[in-house]
Chains A and B, each alone.
Chain A
Amino acid sequence: EDQVTQSPEALRLQEGESSSLNCSYTVSGLRGLFWYRQDPGKGPEFLFTLYSAGEEKEKERLKATLTKKESFLHITAPKPEDSATYLCAVQAGSGGYQKVTFGTGTKLQVIP
């Protein structure tokens, strides 16, 4: 059974204090790993797709990396507007419909 585990569950940072969120996964035949941002009361918003180990993608203060067992979302010098829940998801399998499994998220709070 595919599993996606995110840690920590919650993270509180001072503005400017860099840190990383972790997404570890156990799947058979990874096709892609996704990061989403979810603000309170809203739907998840797509951030990145990573396809293979060693790949990195950046967007503003966010940088996502991927290894064979986990992904990290690095947040550099965060601002209060980066406060949100960050979700990780993996797509795995081959042929036909490939299931996407979501983690439970890391709730990030950035304090001014």
Chain B
Amino acid sequence: NAGVTQTPKFRVLKTGQSMTLLCAQDMNHEYMYWYRQDPGMGLRLIHYSVGEGTTAKGEVPDGYNVSRLKKQNFLLGLESAAPSQTSVYFCASSSRPLESTDTQYFGPGTRLTVL
């Protein structure tokens, strides 16, 4: 099993450009998440999905959109990139059985720089 994979690993954008980050998991997990990690701020949840075809806002959703058309994939889009979106982005997934705890498994991350 590859676990959680993310593409691309690195990307440099100019202000105003758009891009899509792809996350894929092969563990048949229902829940998927997108986080950003910035120095001194910990992991912050951007959007999440509780199943195929569903999405919901997390803690810092502004400027991002997501889609979950297939259970194994979760896409994060930036429509008009801003320097404040320079960060490391992590995707995670979990099986999250009902009324159980949420052990999340993370991908390797995408380092995004917006100039």
The interface of chain A, by Cβ under 8 A from chain B, is 4, 31-32, 34, 36, 41-46, 49, 51, 87, 89, 91, 97-100, 102-105
Contacts and interface: CB of A to CB of B under 8 A. Distances in A.
A43 B101 contact: no
Contacts of B45: 99-100
29 contacts: A31-B101, A31-B102, A34-B101, A34-B103, A34-B104, A36-B106, A41-B108, A42-B109, A43-B4, A43-B90, A43-B92, A43-B109, A44-B43, A44-B106, A45-B106, A46-B105, A49-B103, A87-B43, A91-B101, A91-B102, A97-B48, A97-B56, A100-B45, A102-B44, A103-B42, A104-B40, A104-B41, A104-B42, A105-B42
A64 to B, nearest CB: 14
In the A-B complex, list the 10 residue pairs whose CB atoms are closest, starting with the nearest.
A43-B106, A32-B101, A102-B43, A104-B42, A102-B42, A44-B106, A43-B108, A91-B102, A43-B107, A43-B109
B15 to A, nearest CB: 25
A92 to B, nearest CB: 11
Interface of B: 4, 40-45, 48, 50, 56, 90, 92, 101-109
